[in-house]
Amino acid sequence: MPNVGSPVKRADDPRLLTGRGRYVDDLTLPRMAHVAFVRSPHAHARIVARDVDAARRAPGVVGILTGEEAARLCKPYRGILHHYTGMKTGAMLPLAVDRVRYVGEPVVAVAATDRAAAEDAAALVALEYEPLPALLAPDQALAPGAPLIHPELGDNLVYETRLAAGDVAGAFARAHRVWARTFVSGRHTGVPLEPRSLVADFEPATRALTVWISTQVPHMMREVVADLFDLPAERVRVIAPDVGGSFGIKIHVYQDDMAACALALELGRPVKFVAGRRESFLSDIHAREQTVRVEVAAGADGTLTAMRGEITAGVGPYSAYPRSSVVEGGQVLRLLPGPYRVRHYDATLRIVAQNKGITSQYRAVGHPIATAVTESMVDLIARDLGIDPAEMRRRNLVRPEEFPYTSVTGNVYDSGSYVAALERLLEVAGYARLRREQAAARAAGRHLGIGLSCFIELTGPGAQFYGIGGAPISGQEGTTLRLEPSGAVTALVGVTNQGQGTPTALAQIIADELDVPLESIAVVSGDTAVVPYGGGTWASRGMPIGGSATLLAARALAARIRRLSAALLESHPDDVELHGGRAAVRGSPDRGMTLAELARVVHYRSNEVKGLEPSLEATVHYANPQAWTFTNGAHLAVVEVDMETGRVRVLTYVAVDDCGRIVNPALVEGQVAGGIAQGIGGALLEHCAYDAEGQLLTTTLMDYALPSATDIPRIEVHHLETPAPGIAGGFKGAGEAGTTGAPAAILNAVNDALAPSGAMVTVQPVTPARVREALARAGAHFR
C-alpha cells in the first residue's frame, strides 16, 4: 500500500514518478536553469556602473548574479604554490567586482529557463567601464612606472628565480665558441572537441551539491568546490563522465564554472553551463607564450659544455588556480639542458602579469618550448662546425651506462634509451637516403629540410609537483577491484577517461593478471562518490600511477582468490593457479572451480570459508616512490619550403618513442601521433593573436588555425621499451611525447631548408610571413 497522500502511478500515465512521490513534470520540481555570461569587452578597466534590472525582468529569467553577490557565496582564491618562494598573484572571484583584467572575464551571470532566454537577457545588462591601460608585453608590464594590474601587489612581477650549477663562467671562458639566440614561442590553446561544461545541482535541505563536469580531476574539483563555498566535502559529489578531449585545459578552476555553482547554491535548482566556442577561446587557459634568450658554449668537436638562459613568460592577470601559472616556466628552466651531458648551467625565470587571458598547464607543459630551444641550438652549432646533426647528438646524449643520470638542473633521469632511440630513428627513417634525396632536390631548385629532435618527457609525478605546494591535488592513485557473483570484475579507478583509451589499457592489465576475458571487466571512473581517491589524469600519469595501482590491485585480488579457493579445494594458496576464468590446483585441473562459482560461495554461502574474510575485493593506492620518471624519444621531420611564399609543407614524419612497458601499442601510437599533430599545429599554425588594445582576434575556428588532414603527413611511429625501474609496472607516460618533440623537429627542418640562404627562424608559429622576414633579414632573394 502506498503512503497516504502519495500519488498512485496509473498504467496509462506516461509521466515518470520519482522516488519522492512526485511527477517529473510537476511545477513543484525545479527545472534546469541555463547560464549565460556577460563578459568584459575591455582588457583592463574599472567597472563604474552596473544595471541588471532590465535583464532581471526579461522572459524566462530565474536569477542574476553579480560580482558582489558571488563574493558573498564564494571565497577569493589565489593560484599560489608555496614551494615557489616569493610568488604572488591577485585574488580571483567567480565574477569581476570592481575591475576587469582581460577581455572575456565574466562580470554578470544570468540564469534562465533556456540558454536562448539567458543570452537575450544578458544582452540587456548595462555596464559602464572606465578603460585603463592594457599591459600586453612582459617588458611593458615590468617597465618603471607601469600601471599595476593588482595595485595591492606593488608590481606586475608574479615570480622570479634563478637556477645555477657548475662553473658557468669558467666553462664559457674556456669554450671554443659561444652561440646565442632568442626564441619566441607563440601563445596558443588546446581547443578540445568538447568544450568545458557542467551541471550543478544543490539540495538546500541537506546542503549537498552534485556537479557533473567535463574535468580531468574530479577529486580536486570536489575539494576546491567544498572549500570555496564552505560546504562539507562529504556533501560534494563530482561526476566526470567520459570527456571529449582535454589536453590539460580541464585541470583548472575557471571563474565561470564557479559562478555557475554559485547560482546553483543561490537558486536551489540545477544549473547548466556549456561554453560556446568563442567563450572557450576567451576563457580557456592559454599556454606557451615565452621568450627564451639562450647562450651555449661548445668545444671545437661539438661537445656541449655550458648554457645560460633568460626565460620570460607572460601569464595573464591571474595565476591559474590551484596549479598556478608558474609551472610551465619552471619546467622550461629545469628542462633546457635536455637529454644532453651539459654540466654547467645558469638561467633565470621571470613570470609576469599581463592583460591577456590566463596561461597555465597545457599538454606537455613547458617541454615543447625547452626542446625547441635546445634542439635548435644543437643544429645551429652543428651547422657552424660542419658536423652532421645526428653525429652532433651522438657526441652529447646521455649514454646508457650513465643511468641513473642527474642532470645539471637536478632532475634524475631514472632510465632511458637516448642513444638507442636516435639510432633506431636514423635507421627506420632512412636518414642517409633522405640526405641524398635532399641534395638532389636542392640541385633541382627545391628547398627541402630535415629536422631532428631528441627529447625527454617528465611523467608520472608524485606529491612533489603540487601537493608540497599546498594545492589539493593528489599525487597518488587508487584502484578497487571486485569479483562479482557473476564472475565479472568491476574496476573502480581514480584516473579519468579523456578519450585516450585508459579504460581499455587498465582492463588489459587486469585481464592479464587474473587471466579472465577482457569483456568480463567493467572499468568505472570519474565519480567521487564511487571511486577511490586519486589525482585524476594529468602529466602522463595514467599508466605510471593509475596503471601501477591497478596492477597491484589485480595482484592483491588474485591473492584473495587463491586463498579462498584453496580453502574450498583443500589446497595451499601457492598451489592454486588462475587460468581461463578458473581457479584450479596445479597439476590437478579437475580440482578447480570457475571464478563465478567461487564468487557465489563467498558472497552467498560465506559459512563455507570459515576463518577467512569473505571478501573478493581489493583496493590499492599507489604513488611514485621517486619524484617522477622520464620518457624519451627521437623524431625526424622532412619539410619543403616555398621560398617565394614562405609556406612550409610537412612531407615526412617519423617518431621513435620509449614510454617504458607498453600495455596497448595501438593506444600508445594514437597518443604519440595525436601529440605530433598537435605539436605541428603549434609549430606552424596555432596562435592566440591580440591587437594593441588587448582584444583577442582569434575567437573562432575561422581565425584560429588548427591543423587539418591536409597539413599532417602520414606519421610513422616506432617503439622502444625501457621499463621505469621505480614504477611498479615499469610504465612511463605516453600522452605528451609527441607534442614535446614535434615543434623542435619542424623548426629544425625549416631552418635546415633555409640554411643555404643564411636565414634562421626563431619564432613560432613558423608562418609564411615569418619565413619571408627571416629570408629578408638574411638578404636572400625570393625565387
Backbone angles phi, psi at 109, to 5 degrees: -110, 135
Question: Half-sphere exposure of residue 37, counting CA atoms within 13 Å on the CB side?
Answer: 30
Q: From residue 762, give the alpha-carbon distance in Å to each of 380, 678, 680.
A: 11, 19, 15
Count of other CB atoms within 10 angstroms of residue 402:
13
The DSSP element (H or E) to which 129 belongs, if any, is strand 126-131
Indicate the residue type of 694.
Answer: G
Q: From residue 7, give the alpha-carbon distance in Å to each of 14, 18, 27, 31.
A: 14, 10, 15, 20
CA 398 from chain centre, in angstroms, equals 27
- Asked whether the predicted pLDDT for residue 781 surpasses 70, the reply is no
pLDDT in tens, 341-393: 999 999 999 999 999 999 999 999 999 999 999 999 999 999 999 999 999 99
pLDDT in tens, 269-324: 999 999 999 999 999 999 999 999 999 999 999 999 999 999 999 999 999 999 99
- Strand 629-641 to strand 448-459: parallel, antiparallel, or no bridges (unpaired)? antiparallel
pLDDT at 19: 36
Q: From residue 433, give the alpha-carbon distance in Å to each of 245, 426, 436.
A: 38, 10, 5
The DSSP element (H or E) to which 693 belongs, if any, is none
How far apart are alpha carbons 167 and 291 in whole angstroms? 25
The contacts of residue 256 (CB under 8 Å, 6+ apart) are 35, 37, 94, 106, 109, 273, 275, 279, 283
Biggest alpha carbon–alpha carbon distance for the chain: 94
pLDDT in tens, 182-204: 999 999 999 999 999 999 999 99
Contact 507, 664 (CB under 8 A): no
* The model's pTM: 0.94
Give the residue ranges of DSSP H helices in 355-499.
Answer: 367-385, 389-394, 418-429, 431-443
- Asked whether the predicted pLDDT for residue 162 surpasses 50, the reply is yes
- When computed from its CA atoms, the radius of gyration of the chain, rounded to whole angstroms, is 29
Sheet of strand 629-641: strand arrangement: 448-459, 629-641, 648-658, 715-720
The contacts of residue 288 (CB under 8 Å, 6+ apart) are 185, 186, 187, 188, 328, 359, 362, 368, 369, 682
Q: From residue 543, give the alpha-carbon distance in Å to each of 242, 265, 734.
A: 17, 37, 8
Per-residue confidence band for 465, with pLDDT thresholds at 50, 70 and 90: confident
pLDDT in tens, 386-429: 999 999 999 999 999 999 999 999 999 999 999 999 999 999 99
Count of other CB atoms within 10 angstroms of residue 764:
26
How far apart are alpha carbons 31 and 199 in whole angstroms? 12
pLDDT in tens, 33-87: 999 999 999 999 999 999 999 999 999 999 999 999 999 999 999 999 999 999 9
Q: From residue 596, give the alpha-carbon distance in Å to each of 119, 216, 619.
A: 55, 34, 20
